[in-house]
Every structure is written in structure tokens, then in C-alpha cells.
Structure 1
Amino acid sequence: MKKFSFLVMIIIFVMMFPGKGQAASGHSNIYLDGTELVLATNAKIETMQNNIMIPVRVVVENLGFNVAWDKNKQSVTINNDSTVIHLVVNNKSGYVNGNKVTLPIGPALKTDTVLVPIRFVSEQLGLQVNWDNASKKIYLISSDTGSGNPGTKPEPNPDPGTEPTTPGELALINSISYSENRLMIATKGSIEPKATVMSSPNRIVIDIPYAKFSETFGTSQQLDSYLQGSFHVVGYPDLYQVRYSLYNNSPSTVRIVMDLNYAKVYTIHAEGNLLVVELKTTDPSNPGTPVGGNGKKIAVIDAGHGNQDPGAIGITGKKEKAFNLAVALKVDQLLKNEPKIEGVLTRNNDTFLELKERVKIANDLNADVFISIHANSSGSSAASGTETYYNNDRSKALANVMHKYLVRATGFKDRGVRYGNFHVIRETKMAAVLLESGYLSNKQDEAGLFTESLQNRVAQGIVDGIKEYFGLE
């Protein structure tokens, strides 16, 4: 079921709506699990606002999903029996089963082709995306494809001529990219990288001796006359910039610097012709401190929305993201007094995180529970009340306990415990619930939600619910 839902999601971000078009005689330069995808004649990879945009109608055709194009509304709807996905051209906001998702750049319409950013494909789907800047090839690798071992991903098809260099030759750096908290360095030849952690400011320095930039490196990535360059990282709270340069000529050494927002734990390893530096999950409210291993139960507290994604807007203009964060911070403080529970916040300030990033924090920690805090909205100002959502059987018991305390804390109408197909409670591997505390579209609910007393009660109710679920009362 996990792979099935994953394949549903891939289509919304790498699809082309139905059109005539014949198969091109050339190469598409896009590979899905090692198989080259054949695009329509007029379809091609493009770069827009520093985003690599791809049209992949064949992904839709190969996976057999229904696709509807509304020419008047300039919208695409993709569905199967359980999922409905909606995207609009030039709009950064999309919807999956009514749950809002945000793209770094809106889908673009080129002739009869819809283009979407490849970065969004990676962030939303758990899809491994490798971009070979030298050959301009994209490798899409599904998380369930492997060699028989769970979680194993196949290596991308190597570009012809990527065999190791002969003794005495310099290794080549073909491209540098960042996705899914992984710095990916495409290389040719044998390398022996040396990584160093530095502070004031926090950064990770990777030196690759006996290496140089390839002749094609600077064609699509910044590289000035001094053989230096950089790019900013958007959408990842751990890292804000990657810098690179030919640091030394004797021996020829390429230096890559990851400028961090705070100290991070990392691993470095090779995946075929890729050198991967992966930032490991730590407690965002206490950066640099690994979580777990102390016998405590781990509770991940997720404040929904953030930054450019305000969530629901109240009847008097109040923003859901502010309520969610205020309660999450209160829960975090209360959990610090619980000797057998370790609380972890997905965000502790007005930061935007993709849904996939929130899930990854919890899954990487092997958390025991995931609590996502939200407030609701309706087209009718009469709608009012508190409801709790779960997605699977392992989460039902947690949902029932949390709802009991939440209703008691808000004092609003009890709208019950319900099934929901929200990403953050569907893709998490532990018991997970989404709490809708009240309706911002209702004047009375909104007024109550933004009082200190109600927020304190909700925070305490969340902690009490977690304790009862763990049997710590």
C-alpha cells in the first residue's frame, strides 16, 4: 500500500496532461528505476527560476492513473479509487485529498505540456532524485525498488565514460546538488574525501584532493573566473548555503562547504559515482543533540503549517500557524518535566517544512507517537467543534485517548474521532494523530483558541493524553 500511495503521488509532480504528440526519436534523459522514459516530441527538461522542470506524461501512462485536464481552469486532476490530486498552472498551492501542499514554483504550461519542479518530486514523495549536471540526465528511483533488502535503492545508470581514472589523472567533480537533507556530489574517478566539522559559524567542510571541476561543471552551475561558486538552499531548516571552490593547486583540491544554521550530525558515504553527505535527524528545539537511546518514549510534536503557509485564516484574520506553534511550544515545555518522555518539535519557530520533512523527522527517530496540531476552517461560520483524525489501526487507540483530553480542554462541540487520509498521519510509521482543536471560521471558536488559558489547557491535555497512552499515569 505504501508503494501504491507513493506512485500516486509521483504523478502530480512529474506529469504531462493528455495531448497528441508522438514519441521522440532522441533520448529523454529521464530514467525511472533504470528505464529511460520516452517523452512526446515537444516535451523537454527546462530550467525556470533556478528550478529544474520536467514533463513526464509517460509516468502517468505507465502507472495507469486517470488524468483530467480542465482547459478553462488550467487545472489538472489525477485520481484513483482512494486519492484525488489537484494542481493549477502557475499556482504554487496544490491539494491532495483536500490537504494543501506547496510547490517551490507553480506548474508551467508549455504548448500542450505541463512542467513541474523536480525538487518538489523529491521532497513530497520520498523519491530519490539524482541530477547529473554533466550529462543533463535525471534518475528517479522509487523507495521500494531494490535488490531484495528493505529500503535498498539501486544505483543510477552511470553515464558512459564514468570509469575510474587511471593513475596520475585528477578526479572530476561533475555536479553538486542538495535534496532530502543530502548533499550529492557527482564525480568521475577515484576520490578520498576528508570531512571536517567546524563552528563559529557552524559548517561542514569536505575536501576532495587530487580533483578538479569538470569542463562542463560551470555550464549550468555557478562557477566564476576564480573557480568559486555557491547556491542557497531553500526549504531545509538545517542548511542555508553550499559553497565550493578549487581550494588548492598543489595538490589540486576541490573544497565544498555546507553552511549550517546550527550544529548537525552527519554521515558521508559513496553511492556509485555519487558522494553523499547526509545530515542526520536531531532535535530541532535543541540543535546538535541526538535524540533517543536513553530509554525514554519519543513523542514528536508537529505544529502544522508555518512561514509562507499560514494554514486556515480566522474570521478576524488570525492565522492557524500561530495557534499551532503556540500550543506546540507549550507542549514541549511541559514534556521537559516528564522523566520518561522525550519531546521533539518538528519546528520551534515560524519555519516552513514540507509534509514529507515532518514525517521524515518522526520516522528517522523511530518515534513512539506523532501528534500534529491544527485548527480547522469551514465555508460555513456555523461549523464549530473539536475533532481528531487517525489513518490506520495502529493509531486508533491513540486517537481515542487524545480526543478525550482535547475535547475536555477546548470545551467545544465534540465532533468525534474520524478517519483521515492526511500525509503526516498516513506516512508516519508509528501511532499518529492529527488534532483539529476548533474552527477559526467560527467567531466563538477563534476567540477561544487564541486565549492563553485555552492554549494552556490544550497543551496540558496533549501531554496527559500521551502519558495515558504510554501507561505513565
Structure 2
Amino acid sequence: MKKSILMLLWFSILMLFLLPVQTNAAANQTKIILDGQELTLPNDVEVVNVRNNIMIPIRVVAENLKFNVNWDQKTQNVSIQQGSKAISLTVGQQEAIVENSNVTLNIAPQMIKNTVVVPLRFVSEEMGLRVGWNNKEKIVTLTNTASVPSSPSNGNGNEGTTNLVHEINYANNQLVVSMDQEVTPVITTLKNPERIVVDFPSTDFGNMGQVLPVGSMGKLDTSDSPNVSEVRYSLFKNDPAQVRIVIELNNVSAVNYSQQYVAGKFILDLSMVNGPTPATPVTDGKKVVVIDPGHGGSDPGTISFTNKPEKNFTLALGLKVQALLKQEPNIELIMTRETDVYPTRSERVKLANDLNADVFVSIHGNSVKGSPQVSGTETFYYQRASSKELANIIHKHLIEALGFKDRSVKNGNLQVIRETTMPAVLLEIGFLSNKDEEEAMMSESMQDKAAQAIVDGIKEYLNL
């Protein structure tokens, strides 16, 4: 009996020593695998998720690639050098300098636990690595492209024309696929279970980390999407290459989708019906006006002459319109976004329709990258006479206020003005790809004029 008690006491003491070690090991679950070798991460340094952006410690990666890394505490700047390759990053600033050129990151570098972390995508694009992220196991896979053999020819006479997928994301009812070139996918809806199958012809995986052989499958984290049980992707076949993405739906009675290709990204917007509580219409006699600053969040829109995203301009102008309309006692104002987030186009449409809005105005900036001399203001409506009347009135005020070239009012088949049920317009204020117009559009004074013109047009249309 005494022997058993002594053994139990000894076992309990042993557990006291072992348990803290196991707890510390479990706390640091993230790993970085570089060219097949796991990197040793310092204490408290790990891969983090910041607003759905996977961030990795830049010093750990750079030094293992034999880059020279210098940190300036005063300026919070990291400079990275390898031969002629030079990269400069500053904590809190979304623009980096790569070989004397400005590069916009999708999220600024951050200081976390005394370590500078940067977006995983930046490492892929600017440091010559193929990147993979295993969300389930929390593992980043990095492969030096200099050591990756080139893919063999598929023998179909189309060598060099295969499109490459570099990143796949799903959030806010939106599938976003980053790729080299525009490819029209084949989209199929299937039953039991409800799912959407997206097939990209002549497409292979690029900087996605480990190459998925035919039959292997990757999966995305969909825990924040209650209507989606799984998003999986695979190389469906390789002669010729074809990437397949399957979105498996959950508790959905109906689904609609729309697609577009914007700034190197294929975007599939899903509008799912599962009995949500509709927005409560305003019933106090005020006119309901919905202002929609275009793009936002994961969708930057077009890029301006000086490499600024359209989403910044549309939000800045939208907030100025908001400030003016809030002063109108007979208008109930609703914004589709007030920060750098991306409601899908379907969500913007649903918001306006559920509110039974009186007016819907979507704000955008235009661009023709190949023709920077193109300029002017144009306004779009879709078929309805009421929308055309609203477009004519606001367009008139914009031309008078801004003095840009009049590119006229046009009928356009655009989702946010096609599927809304009230008078709806989409404003292309000017061309961000034109140096002079971009400078004007980004100025406070011109934005003030444009905001006032939009408000004057709305008030005139509503007889206020």
C-alpha cells in the first residue's frame, strides 16, 4: 500500500515538471518551412493573422535567404539587401520601396512582440518565393524559385500560355482568385449537396507553395462563413492543366452569382437566400438615399497614375457626401461602407432593395492604363427612365462643378445599377489614370466640389 502511495506521489511530481513544457510547446503552433527545412523561430515570434492577412516575421525569412537586414528603431524602417535587390519597409506604412519603385501592400507592416511582420503575399511577389499556407496546421511553406525546376511541356503546342493561380481567398460571400491573366472559367451549380464548381481552363498553380498533384486537394478556412461548409481547390487535370475550385454550400435555399475580373483578380460574388431578417425600411417620411463608395477592402479597384488604389478615392469622396447629406433633415442616409471594407456588390444591392431606398448612388474613378490622355466624367444608369433622369441631373451638376470633359450619360449593364429596384446611378467622376485628373480628384478642394454637386443633384431629383 505504501509503495503504491509513493509511486502515485512520484508520478504527480513528475507531471508538475512536464506539463509546463507541453503547454509552451503547444502555444507556438505556427511553423515556417523554407526549401523543406523548418526555420527556428525565436521565442514569442510566430505567424499571425491580421484582418484575414497572414503575416510572417520578415527578419527570420530574409536572414535565412542570406539577405542583409538592417533595422532603424527611430524610423521603424527595415531595409533588406541581397546583391542588387533592395527592399525598404516601414512599420505602419502600406507603401514599400522595391528597387526604387513604390509597391503597395494589401496591409502595412506591423510590429508585434518586438518583431516586424509583413503580408505573406509580399514575400511571394518581392522575394522570389513560392508560398503556401496550410491553415489547418498553421504552416507556411516557402520555396526558393531559383531551386524549383520548370514545369515540363504539356506537348499541346501552347507552351508559355498556361495561366497561373497565386492565391485563393473566400470571405464575405466572395471568392477571390489572384492570377496572371484573365481566364473565363466554366461555372456549374450542382445539387445534393448544393455546390458551385469553378473550372479554370489552361490554368495551373503558381506561387501556392507545394505543387498539388492531380487528385490532391487544398482547403480554405470557412469558419466565418455560415452559409459555406467548405471551399476546396485542386489541380483537376494537367494535360492541359485545369484548376478546379468547389464551394460547398450549407443551409442555402437559393444562390445567385456574378463574376468579374479586376486588377489581376477573378472575383465571384455569391448572393445566397437562407431566410435572413431583412433590413427595416425607414417609415418616417424621409427620402432614403444609399451612397455606395465603390470597391474597398480586398478589392482596391483600379490603380491611379501615381499607384494609389481607387478605393481610397471613392471612400474619401463618399464620406464628404455623407457629411453633407447628414445636414439634410428630409433625407435618411445609408452608407454601404464607411471604412476600408468590401461589401460584395450583391450585398450592396440587397441593402438598397431591403430598405426600399429612393435613390442609389455608386461612386467610382475611371481608368484606361494604356491611354493616360483619356479624361472626363461619365455617368451610368440601367434602362429605367427614373434612373436615366437621376443620371442626367447629377451628371449636369458634376460637369458644372468640376469642369472635366463631358463624356455623357450612358446606359450600362452594371450589377449595382441593374439589380437595384430604385433610381440608381454609377458615377465615374474622372480618370485616375490621367495625371492631371488624378491630381485634381485626390485634392480636398475638388472632392468638396464633387460632393456638393452629387448632393445638389440628389436634392434636385427628389424635389428637396
TM-score range, shorter chain: 0.3 to 0.5
Indicate the structure (1 or 2) with the bigger Cα radius of gyration. Answer: 2
TM-score (norm 1): 0.46
